[in-house]
């Protein structure tokens, strides 16, 4: 897997930003500076951002996209205020 894709899938930043970090020498693979276009083995290699986290392998969670016509009075947020209704209330528990 390409390093910039790995960084992007970990949720740290976009692929382009990952390339910028790699070019600036801020990304380490197995404690050595990474190169643009480098390929890694996510199960084996350790990727670290200088001044940032050690990245774990991207989750294998499946992404689910939902198209919803939001009713009036509902808020598009995971954070619930005291009396607000959020769109997540409209989804099934599972």
Percent of the residues in the chain that have a pLDDT greater than 70, as a whole number = 91
- Per-residue pLDDT at 4: 95
- Going by DSSP bridges, is the β-strand pair 74-75/85-86 parallel, antiparallel, or unpaired? parallel
Q: What is the pTM of this model?
A: 0.60
Ranges of residues in the chain with a pLDDT under 70 are 57-61, 82-83, 94
Superfamily of domain 3-55: RNA-binding S4 domain (3.10.290.10)
What are the phi and psi torsion angles at 7 (to 5°)? -65, -45
pLDDT tens sequence across 54-71: 887 666 667 778 889 999
Q: Which residues contact 75 (CB under 8 A, 6 or more apart)?
A: 81, 84, 85, 86, 87
The structural domains of the chain, with segments of one domain joined by +, span 3-55
Give me the count of residues in the chain: 94
pLDDT at position 16 is 95
pLDDT in the model for residue 22? 97
């Amino acid at each position: 897997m390409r390093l910039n894709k790995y960084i992007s899938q970990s949720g740290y930043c976009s692929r382009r930003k990952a390339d910028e970090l790699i070019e600036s020498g801020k990304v380490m693979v197995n404690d050595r500076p990474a190169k643009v276009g480098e390929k890694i083995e996510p199960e084996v290699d350790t990727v670290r951002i200088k001044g940032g986290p050690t990245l774990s392998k991207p989750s294998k969670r499946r992404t689910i996209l939902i198209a919803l016509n939001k009713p009036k009075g509902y808020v598009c947020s995971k954070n619930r205020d005291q009396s607000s209704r959020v769109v997540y209330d409209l989804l099934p528990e599972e």
